[in-house]
Chains A and B, each alone.
Chain A
Amino acid sequence: MTKAYPLAPIEEAVCAINLPLTVNWDMTVPGAFYERIKADYPFKEVLQGREISLPVKPGSLPELRGIERIKFSSPDRKSVVILEERGMAISRLRPYTSWERLMPQIRAVFNNLSQVVEISSLLRVGLRYINRLEVPHNAGGLEDYFEFRPHMGKIMTHSGPASFMIGVEIPYQDKRDVCRVQLMKTLPNDPHNDAFILDLDYFLARPNALPVEDLDDWIEAAHGRIGQLFEDSLTERMKATFRGD
Protein backbone atom coordinates (compact mmCIF):
# COMPACT_ATOMS: atom_id res chain seq x y z
CA MET A 1 0.00 0.00 0.00
CA THR A 2 1.18 3.53 -0.58
CA LYS A 3 0.39 4.69 2.94
CA ALA A 4 0.90 2.83 6.19
CA TYR A 5 -2.20 3.07 8.37
CA PRO A 6 -1.95 2.34 12.09
CA LEU A 7 -5.25 0.42 12.04
CA ALA A 8 -4.99 -0.98 8.53
CA PRO A 9 -8.08 -3.03 7.64
CA ILE A 10 -6.04 -5.76 5.93
CA GLU A 11 -7.35 -9.23 6.70
CA GLU A 12 -4.88 -10.96 4.42
CA ALA A 13 -2.10 -10.09 2.02
CA VAL A 14 -1.24 -13.03 -0.20
CA CYS A 15 1.22 -13.56 -3.01
CA ALA A 16 0.40 -16.61 -5.11
CA ILE A 17 2.69 -18.13 -7.71
CA ASN A 18 1.73 -20.89 -10.13
CA LEU A 19 4.27 -22.75 -12.19
CA PRO A 20 3.73 -24.15 -15.68
CA LEU A 21 3.25 -27.84 -16.40
CA THR A 22 6.71 -27.93 -17.95
CA VAL A 23 8.20 -27.57 -14.45
CA ASN A 24 9.21 -30.96 -13.10
CA TRP A 25 7.33 -31.54 -9.82
CA ASP A 26 7.53 -34.80 -7.90
CA MET A 27 6.57 -36.19 -4.49
CA THR A 28 9.88 -35.22 -2.90
CA VAL A 29 9.27 -31.49 -3.39
CA PRO A 30 7.07 -30.78 -0.31
CA GLY A 31 9.47 -32.56 2.08
CA ALA A 32 12.56 -30.88 0.68
CA PHE A 33 10.79 -27.51 0.69
CA TYR A 34 9.66 -27.93 4.32
CA GLU A 35 13.23 -28.69 5.39
CA ARG A 36 14.22 -25.29 4.05
CA ILE A 37 11.43 -23.21 5.58
CA LYS A 38 10.64 -25.01 8.85
CA ALA A 39 12.66 -22.61 10.99
CA ASP A 40 10.19 -19.84 10.10
CA TYR A 41 7.11 -22.01 9.42
CA PRO A 42 7.34 -24.93 11.84
CA PHE A 43 3.68 -25.99 11.86
CA LYS A 44 2.45 -28.10 8.97
CA GLU A 45 -1.02 -29.29 8.16
CA VAL A 46 -2.39 -31.20 5.17
CA LEU A 47 -5.51 -29.66 3.70
CA GLN A 48 -7.79 -32.09 1.91
CA GLY A 49 -10.38 -30.80 -0.43
CA ARG A 50 -12.31 -31.35 -3.55
CA GLU A 51 -12.44 -29.05 -6.47
CA ILE A 52 -15.41 -28.78 -8.78
CA SER A 53 -14.69 -27.30 -12.17
CA LEU A 54 -17.87 -26.24 -13.87
CA PRO A 55 -17.71 -26.33 -17.65
CA VAL A 56 -16.84 -23.22 -19.58
CA LYS A 57 -18.06 -24.74 -22.85
CA PRO A 58 -21.68 -25.88 -23.26
CA GLY A 59 -22.00 -29.65 -23.26
CA SER A 60 -18.92 -30.30 -21.14
CA LEU A 61 -19.35 -32.15 -17.88
CA PRO A 62 -18.32 -30.78 -14.48
CA GLU A 63 -15.15 -32.31 -13.09
CA LEU A 64 -14.66 -33.37 -9.48
CA ARG A 65 -11.14 -34.09 -8.32
CA GLY A 66 -9.36 -34.38 -5.02
CA ILE A 67 -6.80 -31.73 -4.21
CA GLU A 68 -4.15 -31.77 -1.54
CA ARG A 69 -2.40 -28.78 -0.14
CA ILE A 70 0.07 -28.39 2.66
CA LYS A 71 -0.17 -25.41 4.96
CA PHE A 72 2.98 -24.29 6.78
CA SER A 73 2.49 -21.75 9.56
CA SER A 74 4.69 -19.48 11.64
CA PRO A 75 4.64 -19.88 15.43
CA ASP A 76 1.96 -17.18 15.73
CA ARG A 77 0.01 -18.85 12.86
CA LYS A 78 -0.36 -15.51 11.11
CA SER A 79 2.27 -16.02 8.43
CA VAL A 80 1.34 -18.94 6.23
CA VAL A 81 2.74 -20.73 3.22
CA ILE A 82 0.41 -22.97 1.23
CA LEU A 83 2.00 -25.42 -1.16
CA GLU A 84 0.23 -27.43 -3.82
CA GLU A 85 1.37 -29.10 -7.01
CA ARG A 86 3.11 -26.41 -9.05
CA GLY A 87 1.74 -23.67 -6.90
CA MET A 88 2.35 -21.83 -3.67
CA ALA A 89 1.01 -18.85 -1.76
CA ILE A 90 2.61 -16.77 0.95
CA SER A 91 0.04 -15.10 3.22
CA ARG A 92 0.15 -12.63 6.04
CA LEU A 93 -3.04 -12.59 8.06
CA ARG A 94 -4.27 -9.92 10.44
CA PRO A 95 -2.45 -8.27 12.16
CA TYR A 96 -0.65 -7.13 9.03
CA THR A 97 2.81 -5.87 9.80
CA SER A 98 4.30 -4.02 6.84
CA TRP A 99 5.30 -4.42 3.23
CA GLU A 100 8.90 -4.00 4.31
CA ARG A 101 8.54 -7.22 6.31
CA LEU A 102 6.31 -9.13 3.91
CA MET A 103 8.31 -8.65 0.71
CA PRO A 104 11.48 -10.27 2.10
CA GLN A 105 9.36 -13.21 3.29
CA ILE A 106 7.90 -13.65 -0.19
CA ARG A 107 11.38 -13.47 -1.70
CA ALA A 108 12.82 -15.94 0.81
CA VAL A 109 10.05 -18.51 0.35
CA PHE A 110 10.27 -18.30 -3.43
CA ASN A 111 14.05 -18.66 -3.29
CA ASN A 112 13.66 -21.74 -1.12
CA LEU A 113 11.24 -23.26 -3.62
CA SER A 114 13.71 -22.43 -6.39
CA GLN A 115 16.31 -24.49 -4.54
CA VAL A 116 14.20 -27.65 -4.77
CA VAL A 117 12.44 -27.08 -8.11
CA GLU A 118 14.01 -25.73 -11.27
CA ILE A 119 11.85 -22.73 -12.11
CA SER A 120 12.41 -21.47 -15.60
CA SER A 121 9.11 -19.64 -16.09
CA LEU A 122 6.01 -18.50 -14.21
CA LEU A 123 2.50 -19.44 -15.28
CA ARG A 124 0.74 -16.96 -13.06
CA VAL A 125 1.67 -14.54 -10.30
CA GLY A 126 -0.77 -12.64 -8.14
CA LEU A 127 -0.59 -10.21 -5.26
CA ARG A 128 -3.82 -9.74 -3.39
CA TYR A 129 -4.93 -7.60 -0.47
CA ILE A 130 -8.23 -8.44 1.20
CA ASN A 131 -9.55 -5.69 3.47
CA ARG A 132 -12.50 -5.90 5.84
CA LEU A 133 -14.09 -2.56 6.64
CA GLU A 134 -16.71 -2.02 9.31
CA VAL A 135 -18.77 1.14 9.78
CA PRO A 136 -21.66 1.83 12.17
CA HIS A 137 -24.99 0.72 10.78
CA ASN A 138 -27.09 3.64 9.46
CA ALA A 139 -24.21 6.07 9.98
CA GLY A 140 -24.29 7.14 6.36
CA GLY A 141 -24.71 5.93 2.82
CA LEU A 142 -22.22 4.01 0.74
CA GLU A 143 -21.23 7.28 -0.89
CA ASP A 144 -19.95 8.51 2.46
CA TYR A 145 -17.42 5.70 2.67
CA PHE A 146 -16.74 4.41 -0.82
CA GLU A 147 -15.63 6.09 -4.00
CA PHE A 148 -15.98 2.65 -5.60
CA ARG A 149 -19.57 1.55 -5.01
CA PRO A 150 -22.68 0.30 -6.79
CA HIS A 151 -24.74 2.92 -8.57
CA MET A 152 -28.42 2.05 -8.35
CA GLY A 153 -31.76 3.33 -9.51
CA LYS A 154 -34.19 5.08 -7.17
CA ILE A 155 -36.15 1.98 -6.18
CA MET A 156 -33.07 -0.05 -5.36
CA THR A 157 -31.48 2.86 -3.52
CA HIS A 158 -34.64 3.42 -1.49
CA SER A 159 -34.95 -0.26 -0.54
CA GLY A 160 -31.24 -0.58 0.16
CA PRO A 161 -29.61 -3.79 -1.04
CA ALA A 162 -29.39 -6.61 1.51
CA SER A 163 -26.10 -7.50 -0.11
CA PHE A 164 -24.11 -6.65 -3.21
CA MET A 165 -20.97 -7.64 -5.04
CA ILE A 166 -19.35 -5.45 -7.65
CA GLY A 167 -16.11 -5.82 -9.53
CA VAL A 168 -13.97 -4.18 -12.16
CA GLU A 169 -10.74 -5.19 -13.82
CA ILE A 170 -8.15 -2.52 -14.47
CA PRO A 171 -5.54 -3.40 -17.11
CA TYR A 172 -1.85 -2.56 -16.81
CA GLN A 173 1.20 -3.08 -18.99
CA ASP A 174 -0.74 -3.41 -22.23
CA LYS A 175 -3.13 -5.92 -20.60
CA ARG A 176 -0.33 -8.22 -19.50
CA ASP A 177 -1.41 -7.50 -15.91
CA VAL A 178 -4.85 -6.92 -14.47
CA CYS A 179 -6.00 -5.66 -11.10
CA ARG A 180 -9.39 -7.02 -10.15
CA VAL A 181 -11.14 -4.79 -7.62
CA GLN A 182 -14.19 -6.22 -5.86
CA LEU A 183 -16.42 -4.78 -3.16
CA MET A 184 -19.06 -6.79 -1.34
CA LYS A 185 -20.96 -6.93 1.91
CA THR A 186 -19.96 -9.44 4.53
CA LEU A 187 -20.91 -10.44 8.08
CA PRO A 188 -19.87 -7.82 10.65
CA ASN A 189 -17.93 -8.80 13.75
CA ASP A 190 -19.89 -6.14 15.64
CA PRO A 191 -23.67 -6.57 15.21
CA HIS A 192 -24.12 -2.77 15.25
CA ASN A 193 -21.96 -2.38 12.16
CA ASP A 194 -22.15 -2.94 8.43
CA ALA A 195 -19.15 -4.79 7.06
CA PHE A 196 -17.59 -4.83 3.61
CA ILE A 197 -14.80 -6.68 1.86
CA LEU A 198 -12.59 -4.67 -0.47
CA ASP A 199 -10.57 -7.19 -2.43
CA LEU A 200 -7.69 -5.99 -4.61
CA ASP A 201 -6.15 -8.75 -6.70
CA TYR A 202 -3.33 -7.81 -9.07
CA PHE A 203 -2.26 -10.68 -11.29
CA LEU A 204 -0.38 -11.67 -14.39
CA ALA A 205 -3.17 -12.10 -16.92
CA ARG A 206 -0.97 -13.47 -19.69
CA PRO A 207 0.52 -16.79 -18.67
CA ASN A 208 4.26 -17.24 -18.94
CA ALA A 209 4.66 -13.57 -19.86
CA LEU A 210 6.95 -12.74 -16.93
CA PRO A 211 10.62 -13.80 -16.84
CA VAL A 212 11.59 -15.28 -13.48
CA GLU A 213 14.33 -12.69 -13.01
CA ASP A 214 11.71 -9.92 -13.19
CA LEU A 215 9.58 -11.36 -10.39
CA ASP A 216 10.77 -9.01 -7.62
CA ASP A 217 10.18 -5.91 -9.71
CA TRP A 218 6.76 -7.20 -10.77
CA ILE A 219 5.69 -7.77 -7.15
CA GLU A 220 6.90 -4.31 -6.11
CA ALA A 221 4.97 -2.72 -8.98
CA ALA A 222 1.88 -4.76 -8.12
CA HIS A 223 2.06 -3.56 -4.52
CA GLY A 224 2.29 0.06 -5.60
CA ARG A 225 -0.71 -0.22 -7.92
CA ILE A 226 -2.81 -2.02 -5.35
CA GLY A 227 -2.04 0.82 -2.95
CA GLN A 228 -3.16 3.41 -5.49
CA LEU A 229 -6.44 1.59 -6.13
CA PHE A 230 -7.03 1.14 -2.40
CA GLU A 231 -6.69 4.89 -1.90
CA ASP A 232 -8.87 5.49 -4.94
CA SER A 233 -11.66 3.20 -3.69
CA LEU A 234 -12.33 4.86 -0.33
CA THR A 235 -13.43 8.27 0.87
CA GLU A 236 -11.50 10.28 3.43
CA ARG A 237 -14.25 9.54 5.95
CA MET A 238 -13.60 5.81 5.61
CA LYS A 239 -9.84 6.27 5.76
CA ALA A 240 -10.25 8.25 8.98
CA THR A 241 -11.70 5.13 10.66
CA PHE A 242 -8.37 3.31 10.40
CA ARG A 243 -6.00 6.26 10.32
CA GLY A 244 -6.01 6.38 14.10
CA ASP A 245 -6.81 10.13 14.20
Chain B
Amino acid sequence: MYNYNRSSRSNCWSGQWTVFDEPYRDALVEEANTKLRGERSSFEVLSVLAWLRDANEGLKGSKELSIVSSIETTLWSVARMGVVISDPGRVREYLVIYSDMTGMLLPMGEALMAHFRGEAQISLEVFQDPDADDEFLMFTIRMASYPENILDQIDSIVSSFEEPLSVRDGWVLITTDFSPPR
Protein backbone atom coordinates (compact mmCIF):
# COMPACT_ATOMS: atom_id res chain seq x y z
CA MET B 1 0.00 0.00 0.00
CA TYR B 2 1.35 3.41 -0.91
CA ASN B 3 0.91 6.80 0.54
CA TYR B 4 2.00 9.50 -1.89
CA ASN B 5 3.20 12.26 0.34
CA ARG B 6 5.07 15.44 -0.32
CA SER B 7 6.72 15.65 3.03
CA SER B 8 10.22 15.50 1.62
CA ARG B 9 12.01 18.46 0.12
CA SER B 10 10.55 20.31 -2.80
CA ASN B 11 13.51 19.71 -5.07
CA CYS B 12 13.09 15.98 -5.12
CA TRP B 13 11.36 13.69 -7.52
CA SER B 14 11.98 10.74 -5.34
CA GLY B 15 11.65 10.01 -1.68
CA GLN B 16 7.96 10.67 -2.04
CA TRP B 17 6.69 7.12 -2.05
CA THR B 18 6.50 5.91 1.49
CA VAL B 19 5.27 2.54 2.58
CA PHE B 20 2.17 3.37 4.53
CA ASP B 21 2.31 0.48 6.91
CA GLU B 22 -0.40 0.99 9.50
CA PRO B 23 0.22 -2.31 11.30
CA TYR B 24 3.86 -1.27 11.65
CA ARG B 25 2.86 2.06 13.20
CA ASP B 26 0.59 0.23 15.62
CA ALA B 27 3.42 -2.12 16.47
CA LEU B 28 5.69 0.85 17.18
CA VAL B 29 3.18 2.44 19.54
CA GLU B 30 2.65 -0.88 21.30
CA GLU B 31 6.39 -1.38 21.66
CA ALA B 32 6.78 2.14 23.06
CA ASN B 33 4.01 1.52 25.58
CA THR B 34 5.67 -1.70 26.65
CA LYS B 35 8.98 0.07 27.10
CA LEU B 36 7.34 2.88 29.07
CA ARG B 37 5.50 0.46 31.33
CA GLY B 38 8.78 -1.15 32.26
CA GLU B 39 10.83 2.06 32.67
CA ARG B 40 10.39 4.41 35.55
CA SER B 41 13.45 6.70 35.62
CA SER B 42 13.28 9.96 33.66
CA PHE B 43 16.41 9.00 31.69
CA GLU B 44 14.84 5.75 30.55
CA VAL B 45 11.58 7.45 29.66
CA LEU B 46 13.53 10.01 27.61
CA SER B 47 15.34 7.18 25.84
CA VAL B 48 12.03 5.64 24.87
CA LEU B 49 10.77 9.00 23.58
CA ALA B 50 13.95 9.45 21.53
CA TRP B 51 13.49 5.97 20.08
CA LEU B 52 9.89 6.79 19.17
CA ARG B 53 10.96 10.08 17.56
CA ASP B 54 13.54 8.24 15.46
CA ALA B 55 10.93 5.74 14.37
CA ASN B 56 8.67 8.60 13.34
CA GLU B 57 11.50 10.27 11.39
CA GLY B 58 12.13 7.01 9.60
CA LEU B 59 8.50 6.73 8.59
CA LYS B 60 8.60 10.17 6.99
CA GLY B 61 10.92 8.88 4.32
CA SER B 62 14.42 9.69 3.22
CA LYS B 63 16.22 12.95 2.69
CA GLU B 64 17.60 13.64 -0.75
CA LEU B 65 21.33 12.99 -0.74
CA SER B 66 21.77 12.12 -4.40
CA ILE B 67 23.56 14.70 -6.54
CA VAL B 68 22.13 13.39 -9.82
CA SER B 69 18.58 13.21 -8.52
CA SER B 70 18.65 16.90 -7.57
CA ILE B 71 20.13 17.87 -10.94
CA GLU B 72 17.62 15.87 -12.98
CA THR B 73 14.64 17.19 -11.02
CA THR B 74 15.84 20.75 -11.41
CA LEU B 75 16.58 20.54 -15.14
CA TRP B 76 13.26 18.89 -15.81
CA SER B 77 11.39 21.55 -13.82
CA VAL B 78 13.28 24.41 -15.47
CA ALA B 79 12.66 23.01 -18.96
CA ARG B 80 9.02 22.40 -18.16
CA MET B 81 8.45 26.03 -17.21
CA GLY B 82 9.60 26.97 -20.73
CA VAL B 83 13.33 27.65 -20.38
CA VAL B 84 15.23 26.33 -23.42
CA ILE B 85 18.16 24.07 -22.51
CA SER B 86 19.83 23.27 -25.81
CA ASP B 87 22.74 21.29 -24.35
CA PRO B 88 21.57 19.58 -21.15
CA GLY B 89 24.69 17.41 -21.07
CA ARG B 90 27.00 20.38 -20.47
CA VAL B 91 24.68 21.85 -17.85
CA ARG B 92 24.65 18.47 -16.09
CA GLU B 93 28.45 18.34 -16.12
CA TYR B 94 28.66 21.84 -14.67
CA LEU B 95 26.17 21.06 -11.89
CA VAL B 96 28.00 17.87 -10.92
CA ILE B 97 31.06 20.02 -10.16
CA TYR B 98 29.19 23.04 -8.75
CA SER B 99 26.40 21.23 -6.93
CA ASP B 100 25.50 24.30 -4.90
CA MET B 101 24.24 26.00 -8.06
CA THR B 102 21.52 23.41 -8.59
CA GLY B 103 19.23 25.04 -6.04
CA MET B 104 19.58 28.45 -7.71
CA LEU B 105 18.23 27.50 -11.12
CA LEU B 106 14.60 26.97 -10.26
CA PRO B 107 14.02 30.29 -8.42
CA MET B 108 16.00 32.20 -11.07
CA GLY B 109 14.11 30.54 -13.91
CA GLU B 110 10.80 31.23 -12.17
CA ALA B 111 11.72 34.88 -11.63
CA LEU B 112 12.66 35.34 -15.30
CA MET B 113 9.59 33.59 -16.63
CA ALA B 114 7.32 35.56 -14.29
CA HIS B 115 8.95 38.88 -15.19
CA PHE B 116 8.83 38.50 -18.97
CA ARG B 117 5.48 36.68 -19.03
CA GLY B 118 6.02 34.83 -22.28
CA GLU B 119 7.35 37.87 -24.19
CA ALA B 120 10.93 36.61 -24.14
CA GLN B 121 12.69 33.39 -24.90
CA ILE B 122 14.81 32.35 -21.90
CA SER B 123 17.63 29.89 -22.53
CA LEU B 124 20.05 28.25 -20.14
CA GLU B 125 23.51 27.10 -21.13
CA VAL B 126 27.10 26.82 -19.94
CA PHE B 127 29.22 29.73 -21.11
CA GLN B 128 32.94 29.21 -21.63
CA ASP B 129 34.74 32.49 -21.14
CA PRO B 130 37.22 32.69 -24.06
CA ASP B 131 39.41 35.19 -22.20
CA ALA B 132 39.77 33.15 -19.05
CA ASP B 133 39.90 29.53 -18.05
CA ASP B 134 36.47 29.84 -16.57
CA GLU B 135 32.95 28.69 -17.24
CA PHE B 136 29.63 29.51 -15.69
CA LEU B 137 25.92 29.11 -16.26
CA MET B 138 24.10 31.73 -18.28
CA PHE B 139 20.44 32.62 -18.69
CA THR B 140 20.05 34.50 -21.99
CA ILE B 141 16.97 36.62 -22.65
CA ARG B 142 15.94 37.06 -26.28
CA MET B 143 12.99 39.15 -27.45
CA ALA B 144 11.40 40.06 -30.76
CA SER B 145 11.63 43.73 -29.78
CA TYR B 146 13.57 45.06 -26.83
CA PRO B 147 12.35 47.76 -24.44
CA GLU B 148 14.80 50.60 -23.84
CA ASN B 149 15.25 49.71 -20.20
CA ILE B 150 15.90 46.01 -20.75
CA LEU B 151 19.27 46.16 -19.00
CA ASP B 152 17.71 47.88 -15.97
CA GLN B 153 15.06 45.18 -15.88
CA ILE B 154 17.74 42.50 -15.94
CA ASP B 155 19.71 44.28 -13.22
CA SER B 156 16.67 44.37 -10.96
CA ILE B 157 16.23 40.61 -11.31
CA VAL B 158 19.94 39.93 -10.81
CA SER B 159 20.07 42.05 -7.65
CA SER B 160 17.59 39.81 -5.86
CA PHE B 161 19.92 36.83 -6.31
CA GLU B 162 23.25 38.49 -5.58
CA GLU B 163 23.35 37.51 -1.93
CA PRO B 164 22.70 33.77 -2.33
CA LEU B 165 25.03 33.64 -5.35
CA SER B 166 27.84 35.33 -3.45
CA VAL B 167 28.20 32.41 -1.03
CA ARG B 168 28.39 29.79 -3.76
CA ASP B 169 31.36 28.47 -5.71
CA GLY B 170 29.70 28.57 -9.11
CA TRP B 171 28.04 31.46 -10.91
CA VAL B 172 24.98 32.20 -13.02
CA LEU B 173 24.89 35.19 -15.34
CA ILE B 174 21.65 36.73 -16.58
CA THR B 175 22.14 38.63 -19.82
CA THR B 176 20.85 39.36 -23.30
CA ASP B 177 22.58 39.37 -26.67
CA PHE B 178 19.83 41.53 -28.20
CA SER B 179 19.12 38.80 -30.76
CA PRO B 180 15.62 37.69 -31.71
CA PRO B 181 14.38 34.39 -30.25
CA ARG B 182 15.87 31.32 -31.94
Contact = CB atoms under 8 A, between A and B. Distances in A.
Interface of A: 11-12, 14, 16, 18, 20-22, 45-56, 71, 77, 80, 82, 84, 87-89, 91, 93, 123-124, 126, 128, 130, 132, 163, 165, 167, 169, 171, 175, 178, 180, 182, 184, 186-191, 197, 199, 201, 203, 205-208
Contacts of A130: 66, 68-69, 72
A207 B169 CA distance: 35
Given A45-B169, A130-B72, A197-B72, 10 more contacts: A12-B66, A18-B62, A21-B54, A56-B5, A91-B66, A175-B21, A180-B14, A180-B17, A184-B13, A208-B51
Interface of B: 2, 5-10, 13-14, 17, 19, 21, 24, 47, 50-51, 53-55, 57-60, 62-63, 65-69, 72, 75-76, 79, 85-89, 92, 96-97, 99-100, 103, 164, 167-169
Contact of B19 (A12, A22, A128, A169): A169
A44 B97 CA distance: 11
Nearest to B2: A169
Given A48-B100, A123-B57, A206-B58, A186 B76 contact: yes
A22 B66 contact: no
A82 to B, nearest CB: 6
A205 B21 CA distance: 10
Given A169-B19, A206-B58, A20 B50 contact: yes
A188 B76 CA distance: 11
B89 A22 contact: no
B62 A124 contact: yes
Contacts of B21: 175, 205
A123 B92 CA distance: 31
Contacts of B66: 12, 14, 16, 89, 91, 128, 130
A46 B169 CA distance: 9
